[in-house]
Chains A and B, each alone.
Chain A
Amino acid sequence: MSSKPYSLFLKDFRSELRTRYAINSLAMFIIVAISVILFSIGNEKINENLTAGLFWVVIFFTAMSGLARVFVSEEERGTTMTLQLVASPSTVFTGKLIFNLVLVFCMNTVIALLYSALFDAFVLRNFALFLYTFILGNIGLAIASTIIAAIISKAGAKGTLYPVLSFPILLPLILTAVQLTLFSIDGTTFEKSIFELAVVICYDVIMLTASYMLFDFIWKD
């Protein structure tokens, strides 16, 4: 297992374990976001439709707080040049994408666990559908946030710009994912939600293709 994207991922993984910057900020952000929602709800019973939306709101904002790190950290440490020398752009992108995928899956699993423990109305009647939504949604989220992170890091690492640029790109994914989460709360069958699932798959494929094609231009100065 010494392929280049994998070793790039390992490098990021080790340096992340050393500082734990992204993991810590993500973990704290999850707690902050969920507790803000819980405080604002108070003792009120919220309906099921709202929980599906809020679930993806937490995911979106948590992603925005930590996923830009992969490229911004290279820019901050001044290691971009070295990386350009040792690896081709597509290798770099694959390595960073794997790292963000792992991060997104860890973070969203924690969110889903906390969420189902803390919200009574979050009952998944069609769990398999939720699982598909979750996996496909996470992949799309990781791809889009990685390519936007690359743009941000070259634009001088403007922290506030990241959610601004990401939101319109992620909107079709989030809207469809909210719809699918609603379906899985309602217990809608697979046959009825096949169109929405196809939309999410299309989104993932289109984003992945566009990202690989365009990353060269971002990466080469």
Chain B
Amino acid sequence: MKSIAWKVFLFLLLAFVSVAGIAFPIVENPTHWYEFPNIPGLEQNAKIIFFHVPTAWLTVIAFLMSTIYSFRYLKRKDPDDDIKSYAAAQLGIIFCILATVTGSIWSKFAWGSFWSWDPRQSSIFALLLIYGAWFALRSSIENEEKRATLSAVYAIIAFVTVPFFIFIMPRIMTGLHPGSADDTNAGPVVDFKMNANMMLIFYLSLIGFTILYFWMWKLGYKSLMFKERINKQLRG
């Protein structure tokens, strides 16, 4: 009963966010609660924030979870932790691809080209590379324990470089992305150019997508676990 309530809540939340994010008008001086302010330099393009930012956020959350479970695996050597870490990374690469694709479609309209090596684009590309390398490493090792240990080590090493991509690179390199160091026309969007209701819908969207992520992660983890169990029974 409780889980159904959660799912209904999640459905309603995401449905509301989708409708609000796509259909609410952007006007010069918002007077109604369902009107968004006009951000100079972004205009209608600003609406992608409700869908693009959550996917990028989940890419990082998935990576963080994958690393935390890698840590736990190295500490306790429990195969369960490896499966959890794997399930998180699987979702992470999906959201990473989504963030890259939505971002590059948006940049076609905002900057005029699909890809322009903006620092943010470089950093999401680097995350994509890290995920790719991680899966390549996993698929190259057959021994389960070895695979779990080495991929956990690699996940942690890769994780310590992530702050460089996410927080430092965009700030030292000049870029086009809203919120980067020399951004003069659009400004840090999240801070003050959004009004209260835009902010509210943005955070609702973040919450909705995060719940969705955890639900998907749990499903992924369970299916991997059952697969593991069936394999074990078939073998012996």
Whether the Cβ atoms of A155 and B137 lie closer than 8 Å is yes
Whether the Cβ atoms of B141 and A156 lie closer than 8 Å is yes
- B129 touches which one: A151, A155, A167 (CB < 8 A)? A167
Cβ of A214 under 8 Å from chain B: yes
Whether the Cβ atoms of A210 and B157 lie closer than 8 Å is yes
- Chain B residue nearest in CB terms to A221: B146
Whether the Cβ atoms of B157 and A214 lie closer than 8 Å is yes
Cβ of A158 under 8 Å from chain B: yes
Residues of A within 8 A of B165 (CB): 171-172
Cβ of A14 under 8 Å from chain B: no
- Chain B residue nearest in CB terms to A166: B133
Cβ of A22 under 8 Å from chain B: no
Residues of A within 8 A of B161 (CB): 168-169, 171-172, 203, 206
Residues of B within 8 A of A176 (CB): 172
Cβ of A81 under 8 Å from chain B: no
**Given A147-B157, A214-B153, is A199 in contact with B126 using a C-beta cutoff of 8 Å?**
no
Cβ of B16 under 8 Å from chain A: no
Distance in angstroms between the alpha carbons of A175 and B126 in the assembled complex: 11
- A203 touches which one: B136, B158, B164 (CB < 8 A)? B164
The digit string for A134-165, where 1 denotes a CB below 8 A from any CB of B, is 00000000000001100100111010010011
Cβ of A179 under 8 Å from chain B: yes
- B158 touches which one: A161, A164, A168, A202 (CB < 8 A)? A168
Residues of B within 8 A of A164 (CB): 132-133, 136
- B153 touches which one: A151, A172, A203, A207 (CB < 8 A)? A151
Whether the Cβ atoms of A217 and B137 lie closer than 8 Å is no
- B154 touches which one: A158, A165, A199, A221 (CB < 8 A)? A165
- A161 touches which one: B130, B136, B168, B173 (CB < 8 A)? B136
Cβ of A195 under 8 Å from chain B: yes
Residues of B within 8 A of A217 (CB): 74, 149, 152-153
Residues in A155-202 with C-beta less than 8 Å from chain B:
155-156, 158, 161, 164-165, 167-169, 171-172, 175-176, 179, 195-196, 199, 202
By DSSP majority rule, is chain B's interface helix, strand, loop, or mixed? Answer: helix
Distance in angstroms between the alpha carbons of A31 and B129 in the assembled complex: 28
Return A199 CB to nearest CB of chain B, in Å.
6
- Chain B residue nearest in CB terms to A165: B133
Cβ of B13 under 8 Å from chain A: no
Residues in B107-145 with C-beta less than 8 Å from chain A:
122, 126, 129-130, 132-133, 136-137, 140-141
Residues of A within 8 A of B126 (CB): 168, 171-172
Whether the Cβ atoms of B169 and A210 lie closer than 8 Å is no
Cβ of A17 under 8 Å from chain B: no
Whether the Cβ atoms of A155 and B140 lie closer than 8 Å is yes
Return B180 CB to nearest CB of chain A, in Å.
15
Residues of B within 8 A of A154 (CB): 146, 150
Cβ of A28 under 8 Å from chain B: no
Residues of chain A touching chain B, judged by Cβ–Cβ distance below 8 Å, are 147-148, 151, 154-156, 158, 161, 164-165, 167-169, 171-172, 175-176, 179, 195-196, 199, 202-203, 206-207, 210-211, 214, 217-218, 221
Q: A151-B137, A155-B141, A199-B164 are in contact. List 8 more A-B contacts (CB 8 A).
A: A155-B137, A158-B140, A164-B132, A164-B136, A165-B133, A167-B129, A168-B126, A199-B168
Pairs across A and B, CB under 8 Å, 26 listed: A147-B157, A151-B154, A154-B150, A155-B137, A155-B150, A165-B133, A165-B136, A165-B154, A167-B133, A168-B129, A169-B158, A169-B161, A171-B129, A171-B161, A172-B161, A172-B169, A175-B122, A199-B164, A203-B164, A207-B157, A207-B160, A210-B156, A210-B157, A210-B160, A211-B157, A217-B149
